[in-house]
Chain A
Amino acid sequence: MTDRPSRVAATEAQRDARGIAPLRPEAIAAVATFVLSVVLILASRFVSPALGSWDQAATVVVLASFLIVVAFGQGLVILIGGLDLSVASLVTLGAVLATTWIGSSNDGAIYLLPAILIVCGLIGAASGIGVTLLGVPPFIMTMATGIIVGSVALGYTSGTPRGGAPGILIALMKDDWAGVQILIVFVVLFAVLAAILQGSTSFGRKLYAIGASARAAHVAGVSVTRMTILAYAMSAVSAGLAGLMLAGYSDGATLRMGDSYLLPSIAAVVVGGSSILGGTGSFAATVGGAVLLTTLGTVIAALGIGEGWRTVIEGSIILIALLLLRESTFAGLKRLLGR
């Protein structure tokens, strides 16, 4: 793991940088990822005339919605210098509980849906307690939680989840409201609220403080233990919510449902320019990262090439994005803009 670019930050700080807040790396990363996504969608018209339309953009948002929700929680945990490897199992758990507890009817959905999210939150809190009070490294603690939850979901469903998704979830994922998909409204609302929660509330600022230095945050009066447990709980709730959405989207659950969201959720956060060591980044940039990765996925899928090369391209994109979104690139950009 490379060291935190503290020396760069220190020299930057000697100059008075307060007046140029809009040029923060996070802001550039967020804008850059969105611009890249739009350019990609427009450029994909050359690949196939069917692409590059407003419809395709809407499809990208729908497909990205799950990743955005998971990446929010993952981003909070990464922000405090942790990592949540249990999100895959919790996505699956959310979907499995939705189909087994509620099923195709809407009976009791009003209190069972929140109950599912609370269960997920408690599991996340357990991870947080393991990390803080027991001192288990986050990597191991969340991996263990993930293995345990996955195993419970497997045993609970005897290997094959049955039943459809509650109507209310299907409506959320599929229905229109005055010509606009409800899901798109929901995702935009979620993103705005989440960005405010992470960026502008005392909850979010405390997480930034912990990520920058847990000791300094403690000295400054932040309850590090409680905030850390909360962050892991939030991550689990986000993953559970994504599971509910997935259940509604595919009208059912599978045990491998969450697997394809673990690594992308980390990738979305990192491509959005956050440091994996915590303390930096913004949720807007993470949303940009998630949208960019999903756009790439759909465009590459439309190229009509085999899964192998498609995967190779996806991996290369991550490396290229990392190279382009490096701190030094931003430093160079700033110098170029003559500050």
Chain B
Amino acid sequence: MSADVTALASRPADPPASAARRPRWGRRLANGAGIVTLLYLILYALYGLWDRGAFSAYAFTNLVNNAAPLAIAAAGETLVVLSRGFDLSVAGVMSLTNVVMATYPMEGPQGALLSLLMCMAIGGVVGCVNGAAVAYLRLQSIAATLGTMIICRGLSLVILDAPGGTVTDFVSNTLTDQLFGVIPVSGLIVAALAGLWGLVRRTDFGVALYTVGTDETAAALSGVSVARTRFLAFVGAGLVYGVAGFMLTAQTATGNPNGGNPFLMLTFAAVALGGTSLSGGRGGMIGSIVGAATLMLLQKVLFSGGVSSFYTGIFQGVVLVVAIVFSRALSRLLDGRRR
């Protein structure tokens, strides 16, 4: 009996030595970006099998360019989802920034930088409205951001009522080009965002974000300002959506008042595929970015595999569900083994 007691008592202090080491990489594989990265590599291999040119720098750059807007949008959405919320305004902000850029083109690198700042300012303002509505006025996040999304959609139509406008050469060419002929520029921007996230998640705000998403009451009791954390999550997300709209403009090289609409569903699909829990507190940006890349790669693979474009939706839906079921099963398995 005394042995039982010591075993019980020592268990909480014990893990660092044996129990934690193996599950730690295992858990990372199961919960975070691990599974989706694996899925990405498998899909890439399939793509290579069906399309000889898949491993060229050109094909890779194309893939990265295609995925960049969605990846950045999903990265922004992750902030809100981690804090246990939903932000539908992502589609509206992307449309709005897209038409603003196409309506007020600014030449050269400085112009592009100015455009980027403008996009982020727009996203930031929308984020402030969302944050204030959800964190301080305590509106339901889906409903409040539905409102702001529709308003942004309307403003986009006011600014540009039909697809058109002009995008400067610097934005449409240089930002979708390769650096030293190998590294895609859009990939660098996504990588910079991922790096920034690596820093942010170690700050007080980053820790608070996870705490609020996991258990709001506990977070409040331990001195975290829940409202402020939520507010900042929405503002941060808005800023990142601005960048996503900027990259969307670079990729499509045109303005479209409805350009952001397809991103609404895809963004959440990417976040979930990347292993972030939609009920908050678990996951991260890296997973969402790889999730977005996987969704875009899947379309390419299905196309090169000769699947009729009518039926690509079936595969997307099935992959989404299977990936999530699989990652849940695996994480439960690893949790069980640890116990």
A binding-site residues for B, Cβ under 8 Å: 1-3, 5, 83, 85, 130, 134-137, 139-141, 143-148, 150-152, 154-155, 158-159, 263, 266-267, 270, 275-277, 306-316, 318-319, 322-323, 326, 328
A276 close to B150 (CB less than 8 A): no
Given contacts A136-B325, A140-B272, A312-B155, contact A277 B311 (CB under 8 A): no
Pick 12 A–B contacts, CB within 8 A, sort by A: A2-B139, A139-B86, A140-B320, A144-B320, A148-B318, A151-B314, A154-B310, A159-B310, A318-B143, A318-B147, A322-B139, A322-B144
- Name A318's closest neighbour in chain B (CB-CB): B147
- Name B261's closest neighbour in chain A (CB-CB): A259
Task: List the B side residues contacting A314 at CB < 8 Å.
Answer: 150, 154
Number of A-B contacts (CB under 8 A): 164
CA distance A94 to B165 in the complex (A): 39
Task: List the B side residues contacting A147 at CB < 8 Å.
Answer: 265, 313-314, 316-317, 320
B321 close to A141 (CB less than 8 A): yes
Task: List the A side residues contacting B156 at CB < 8 Å.
Answer: 308
What's the least CB distance linking A288 to chain B, in Å? Answer: 16
CA distance A73 to B152 in the complex (A): 28
Given contacts A139-B268, A144-B317, A155-B310, contact A276 B140 (CB under 8 A): yes
B143 close to A136 (CB less than 8 A): no
- Name A271's closest neighbour in chain B (CB-CB): B143
What's the least CB distance linking B248 to chain A, in Å? Answer: 19
Of the candidates B84, B161, B269, the one whose C-beta lies within 8 Å of that of A1 is B84
B binding-site residues for A, Cβ under 8 Å: 84-86, 133-134, 137-144, 146-159, 161, 216-217, 257, 265, 268-269, 272, 277-280, 308, 310-314, 316-318, 320-321, 324-325, 328
- Name B310's closest neighbour in chain A (CB-CB): A155
CA distance A134 to B326 in the complex (A): 10
Given contacts A85-B265, A130-B321, A308-B161, contact A318 B150 (CB under 8 A): yes
CA distance A314 to B159 in the complex (A): 17
CA distance A136 to B278 in the complex (A): 10
What's the least CB distance linking A32 to chain B, in Å? Answer: 16
What's the least CB distance linking A204 to chain B, in Å? Answer: 22
A140 close to B268 (CB less than 8 A): yes
CA distance A147 to B319 in the complex (A): 11
Q: Is the interface of A mostly helix, strand, loop or mixed?
A: helix
A144 close to B158 (CB less than 8 A): no
A1 close to B320 (CB less than 8 A): no
User: What are the 9 A-B residue pairs with the smallest beta carbon separation, nearest first?
Assistant: A151-B313, A311-B154, A315-B150, A308-B157, A308-B158, A312-B154, A315-B151, A148-B317, A155-B310
CA distance A312 to B265 in the complex (A): 21
Given contacts A276-B140, A316-B147, A326-B139, contact A306 B328 (CB under 8 A): no
- Name A151's closest neighbour in chain B (CB-CB): B313
What's the least CB distance linking A96 to chain B, in Å? Answer: 13
- Name A5's closest neighbour in chain B (CB-CB): B138
CA distance A266 to B88 in the complex (A): 12
Given contacts A266-B142, A323-B139, contact A315 B313 (CB under 8 A): no
B147 close to A315 (CB less than 8 A): yes
B138 close to A326 (CB less than 8 A): yes
CA distance A78 to B292 in the complex (A): 27
A144 close to B154 (CB less than 8 A): no
Task: List the A side residues contacting B313 at CB < 8 Å.
Answer: 147-148, 150-152, 154
CA distance A312 to B314 in the complex (A): 34
Task: List the B side residues contacting A154 at CB < 8 Å.
Answer: 310-311, 313
